[in-house]
Amino acid sequence: MDAQKLLSSMCVSCPTHHEPVHRELTSSSGLVAGLVILPSLVRTSFAIDRPIHSSIVVLAVCGACIIGLDRTRALKDTKSHRHRYGPIPLEDANDRLTSGNGSIHGEEGVGKQSPLSSLRRLRLVFLILVGALCTRVEVLHQVVRGVQCTRGSYYPFLPFLLAVYDFAIVRRHRQGQKPDEEQDATSFQAIFARLSRHRYMLVFSTLLLGLCSSLELSATAPLSSTYVCASTLPAFSLVPVYQLLGLFLDALILILVFHILDLSSDSQQSNVNAHRIIGWALLLPAVIWTAVGAVICFANPDDRRWILYPERIYLWGLFNLTLAICVTVLFALSVASRSRLVSFSFLVIFTLTGLAALTSDWGQHVQVLGFSDKLKFVFVTTVFVAGILYAVVEMSAENRSRSSTRNTSGVPGWFLYSIAGLLIFRVLFGKPYLGQPSSHPIDILIGRAHSQHDLWKKQASSSKSLSDAVAVYRQRYHRNPPPHFDIWYDYATSRSSIVIDDYDNIHNDLLPYWSLSPAEIRQRTWEIIANPWSDAGGVHVRAGSLEISANMPGTHRWMVDGVTHIMENFVEWLPDMDLAFNLNDEARVTVPFEVLEPLKEASSRTALSEKLGVAGFSQERSPGWALIPEQPITDSRFQQRSFQRTFHEFGAVGCPPSSRARKERLWNVKDLCTTCAAPHSLGHFLSNWTLSASVCHQPDLADLHGVNLSPAAYKGSHELMPMFSQSKPAGYNDILYPSAWNYMDKVKYAPSPEFPDPPFSEKENTLFWRGATSEGVSPGSGAWKGMTRQRLVHLTNNVTTPQLILLPQPRTNKPSYTLLTPTNVAALLNSSVHLVDGIARCGGRDCPDQVKEFGGGAPRSDFQHHWHYRYLVDADGAGFSGRFLPFLQSGSVPFKTALFREWYEGRLTAWRHFVPLDLRLHGLWSTLAYFAGVDGGIIEGRVGKWEAKAKEAEDIAENGRKWANTVLRKEDMEIYFFRLLLEWGRLTDDRRDELGFSV
């Protein structure tokens, strides 16, 4: 459609009438309510994952709603009461005189424009607005894509930009003599009047407001996460430029919208339908971007697939976000129709920044001292003063006459009272949940760990006889023990196992499978083994002997050979059965919570049999296990998700629908989610290792681990498939077994004269790690920036943001959270953390990008060289880390961070046998500072001095060594696996409800 015809169709005559006061209050209240709701909604919306797609929908819906409401005349009463003066150039403005009531007087024909000239001007404004909105969508896309490199917020300066524009283009210099009321006023009133009418006062007040609001937001901003913002890549400098460009575009969009509204209120342009024009200005960018996107989607199969089959969580998030934005925009348009440009921006920005600061105050779980409390108080007070000063200037009759030819409303009085109340509330109550600790949290955590370990040890080995073990089994698991339990008991006790009673991991892993019939379990096992695409190795137990399935891939033969090597020690007691072992590092089975919970509840309600039970397995079990065909089958219940995000489709589906992991998408990876870490943390330090494994309260983990971002080999299923895996994240339904990696000593603790394990006091007081980029694949999407290993290397070598560390105060040496520059951190604490073997598992631009950031990698060193250092970091690879057990057996202290859990989960106690680290790694430096000590003289006046807690560290190292040699021996792996397979043998027996050992 021709632009001139389109604009002509939007122009109608509008009658005038007076608008009720209550409508103004309703519109303003609705706008403020929308501004309160929107930030939290945007912060957790799945719709932001696709900013361009979401922007198209939002623009289209908002534009359609505005046009539709205008056609139904729902906006009619706001159109004709546009008592304001718009951005008319000074040369036009000087031709007009303003009376007190806002009527326009002047010589005939002066300042008037012909309808044709006005339409041309309106068409230009319309086209610029459409172009600005189109550009703004792409700027938003770039900022979201590189959000980890954003530099705070520039939006507090939006009113200042608009005030500068207002001063330079719209407002006229004061002419003539003083107003009559000033001549009769007192000296104080005259001074106050002159101050409020000063030509620069509006600009000054908005500048002061912007500066102080910006500093206040910085003082209360969330801590930066460890997500990588590489200073070697263009995003580091480009994203802040995009932020500034977005600010100027928003200012331009507001100016153009208000210009259109001004034209509709001008008595000479009463035929202009502003709302319809604005509606079309929102619709056209959506149409343009749809056309552009159609070309891109047609060329890209992945985009085509996503458009045809969008994710349900995205659609629901988009619906909620679109609804909230659309309602807020309608209220904003209603308020804008009666407000001045700067007043409107002041109301919007002040609400957003004040709310952000207050939310940050109450959302932080560690007090941030980048700014002192006194300085924060100054910021809050100055913001209050600047807000009041601005309001006084805007409400000045003289300023109204200078900025408007009609009666206009500035900042509502009720809003000023709200500002005052909000700021007073912030000054009095705006404190973080946790202030500075009175004692070091690690002291508390180490004390807790001792009592927790003693309690676990007592309940895990309470049985002193077979009859005791049977009684405890029945009490814990509400079933009789499986057949051959007496043989297992003799096997365990003869190998000096102290863990007799606590096998909750086995019970929890197998509980869901009780919902399947034995025949169904056997059928699904056959499906896995018979299809090589499933990446599983089959082991057949027949008449006390073992056989490996013929279709075993040669690359993973060692793994299944190791499994059979463990099983050979007790296979004579196992019933005939087939077992499917996962050949991939990643776990495979996640059943949605809504499906799994009823199955587990039904299994748990199985009544304890009053019968003594049948002691032996059924005879002739082998016919129940179908033969593996020579010709592989092709049907599979697994889905290929390699190189793709898996968190929301697989990682979080085991959580309740009301959990944060299911409801929230924390796309802003720049900010540390302290509320995600708080349930399992004490300040910076991980306090509950078991709870930290649950993703249900941690939606940010979607971007902080390779298995969630882009796994190398991921084939998952939402059905209960009997897959035995070496490790798994919490919420997965794989069945854990002891890994052959450690049993076969693929990596082992073996000090030598060349690489000794010296006494702890002689080890280098340094944090040490060497590893490869094997956690996941980064195929060109930038997924490596969130992977644990890359974040670890970046944090210790390349980090560009200040780090918050719990350090001693300069004079008292009491612990205090202190913000230090990366240079100061490097001066205080020693670390040697590097990648080896170059950059692997990458594609596209991600390979050279990582080389730029990390270099070519350090040379590979002998594994036994680790014992030279006191503190050894252990981090997940594509699955569990095979180095953790040797680290425990050494005389060094393992610092462990992991999403994956193994068969021995629960046997080790964090802070007694190893030092736990949150996956976010935000507490790494504080933890190292506690054990390694700090010398405050390096940073004089900011940090005190702590002696290294060598005794505490040595105790953890020694406790870990002794306990690993007690409960994590190869004999313990055999005992666990033996009991697991006895339980599995009963579970797959057609007479399983009758089977059970009893004494």
| CA separation for the pair 301, 90 (Å, rounded) | 54
pLDDT at res. 607 = 52
Neighbour tally for 835: CB within 10 Å: 23
Average pLDDT over residues 499-509: 96
Q: Give 180's contacts (C-beta < 8 A, 6+ positions apart).
A: none
Categorise residue 992: left if φ over 0, alpha if ψ from -120 to 50, beta otherwise: alpha
Q: Is the pLDDT of residue 109 over 60?
A: no
pLDDT of residue 364 exceeding 60, the answer is no
- Of 102 and 776, the structure prediction assigns the larger pLDDT to 776
Of 735, 551, 534, whose CA–CA distance to 636 is shortest? Answer: 534
In this predicted model, what pLDDT tens digit does every residue of 679-714 receive, in sequence order? Answer: 999 988 999 999 999 999 999 999 999 999 999 999
Of 140, 231, 985, 260, nearest to 574 by C-alpha is: 985
Residue 119's pLDDT band, with cuts at 50, 70 and 90, is confident
Segment 448-476 mean pLDDT: 94
> What is the number of other CB atoms lying within 10 angstroms of the CB of residue 475?
10
Q: What is the pLDDT of residue 348?
A: 85
Q: Among 582, 577, 600, 584, which residue's Cα sits nearest to residue 510?
A: 600
Side-chain-facing half-sphere of 282: CA atoms under 13 Å:
25
Map out the domains of the chain with their CATH numbers.
32-90+112-152+227-337 (no CATH), 163-173+182-220+339-434 (no CATH), 444-638+717-737+981-987 (no CATH), 746-968 (3.40.50)
Say if residue 665's pLDDT is above 70.
yes
pLDDT-derived band at 192, boundaries 50, 70, 90: low
Write down the pLDDT at residue 134: 96
* Cα angle, residue 838 at apex, residues 835 and 841 outer, rounded to 5°: 95
pLDDT (mean) for 757-772: 96
Q: Residue range 32-53: average pLDDT?
A: 91
Residue range 578-583: average pLDDT? 96
CB distance 385 to 205 below 8 Å: no
In whole angstroms, give the CA distance from residue 701 to residue 709: 9
DSSP 763-788: SEEEEEEEE-S-S--B-SSSGGGGSH
pLDDT band with cut points at 50, 70 and 90 for residue 141: very high
Q: At what angle do helices 158-165 and 201-219 cross, to 10 degrees?
A: 170
Position 961 scores a pLDDT of 97
Q: What is the pLDDT of residue 388?
A: 67
Residue 490 in this model has a pLDDT that exceeds 60:
yes
Q: What is the pLDDT of residue 581?
A: 97
pLDDT digits (tens, 9 = 90+) for 823-882: 899 889 999 999 998 898 999 999 999 999 998 788 888 999 999 999 999 999 999 999
Cα 402 to Cα 396: distance, rounded to the nearest angstrom? 10
pLDDT of residue 773 exceeding 90, the answer is: yes
Helix ranges (H only) for 464-576 are 466-477, 485-494, 504-510, 518-530, 557-567
Mean pLDDT of 375-383: 62
Give the DSSP per-residue string, 661-714.
HHH-----TTB--HHHHGGGEETTEE--HHHHT--TT-GGGGGSSHHHH--SS-
The span from the CA of 658 to the CA of 8, in Å, is 51
Question: pLDDT, tens digit, for every residue of 301-320?
Answer: 777 777 777 888 999 999 99
Q: What does the block give as tokens for 703?
A: 């971007």
Q: Which residues contact 917 (CB under 8 A, 6 or more apart)?
A: 686, 873, 895, 896, 897, 923, 924, 927
Tokens 């180095």 sit at which residue?
883
Kindly indicate the confidence band of residue 371, based on its pLDDT and cuts at 50, 70 and 90. Answer: very low
Q: Answer whether residue 403 shows pLDDT above 50.
A: no
Query: Any idea what DSSP says for residue 576?
Result: S
For the cut 60, the answer to whether the pLDDT of residue 372 exceeds it is no
The span from the CA of 500 to the CA of 687, in Å, is: 27
Instruction: Check residue 516 and report its DSSP letter.
Output: S
Indicate the pLDDT class of residue 158, thresholds 50, 70 and 90.
Answer: very high
Kindly compute the dihedral angle of the four CA atoms of residues 905, 907, 912, 914, in this order, to the nearest 10 degrees. -40
What mean pLDDT do residues 115-123 have? 75
Q: Under a CB-based contact definition with an 8 Å cutoff, are residues 735 and 979 in contact?
A: no
Question: Band of the pLDDT at 106, cuts 50, 70, 90?
Answer: very low
Q: How far apart are CA 113 and CA 952, in angstroms?
A: 84
**Percent of the chain having pLDDT more than 70?**
80
> Which strand (E) or helix (H) includes residue 538?
strand 536-542
Confidence class for position 402, pLDDT limits 50, 70, 90? very low
- Contacts of 70-79 with CB under 8 Å at 24 or more apart are 70/273, 70/275, 70/276, 70/279, 75/275, 75/333, 75/334, 76/14, 77/17, 77/19, 77/23, 78/19, 78/23, 78/333, 78/334, 78/337, 78/338, 79/14, 79/264, 79/273, 79/274, 79/275, 79/337
Cβ(936)–Cβ(809) below 8 Å: no
Q: Are 582 and 588 in contact (CB under 8 A)?
A: yes
Q: Determine the pLDDT at residue 83.
A: 42
Geometric angle at alpha carbon 601, from 594 and 678, rounded to 5°: 65
Average pLDDT over residues 3-28: 54
Task: Report d(CA 409, CA 393) in Å as an integer.
Answer: 13
What type of residue sits at position 682? Answer: L
Q: Tokens 């580091």 belong to which residue?
A: 236
Kindly indicate the confidence band of residue 751, based on its pLDDT and cuts at 50, 70 and 90: very high
End-to-end CA distance of the chain: 89
Q: Which residue has the higher pLDDT, 110 or 122?
A: 122
Give the pLDDT mean for 768-795: 95
Cα separation of 279 and 68, whole Å? 9
Angle of helix 466-477 relative to helix 485-494, nearest 10 degrees? 120
Query: In this predicted structure, what is the pLDDT of residue 600?
Result: 86
Give how far the C-alpha of residue 886 lies from the chain's centroid of Cα atoms, to the nearest Å: 33
CA angle at residue 539 from 538 to 542, to 5 degrees?
140
Q: Letter for the amino acid at 836?
A: V
Please give the angle made by the CA atoms of 300, 304 and 307, to the nearest 5 degrees. 140
Q: pLDDT value at position 370?
A: 42
Asked if the model's pLDDT at residue 362 lies above 60, the reply is no
Distance of CA 875 to the CA centre of its chain: 20
Alpha-carbon dihedral 438, 442, 443, 444, rounded to 10 degrees: 80
In 3-state terms the chain splits into helix, strand, coil percentages (rounded to 5) of 55, 10, 35
In the 8-state DSSP scheme, what is residue 796? I
H-run or E-run covering 333: helix 312-336
pTM, two decimals, is 0.89
CA dist 16 to 19, 72, 98, 112, 984, Å? 9, 17, 21, 21, 82
Query: Considering the chain, what percentage of its residues have pLDDT values greater than 90?
Result: 59
Averaged pLDDT, 587-609: 83
> What mean pLDDT is predicted for residues 904-932?
96
pLDDT of residue 999: 77
pLDDT tens-place string over residues 637-654: 999 999 999 999 999 999
pLDDT in tens, 54-102: 999 999 999 999 999 888 765 554 444 444 434 434 334 333 333 333 3
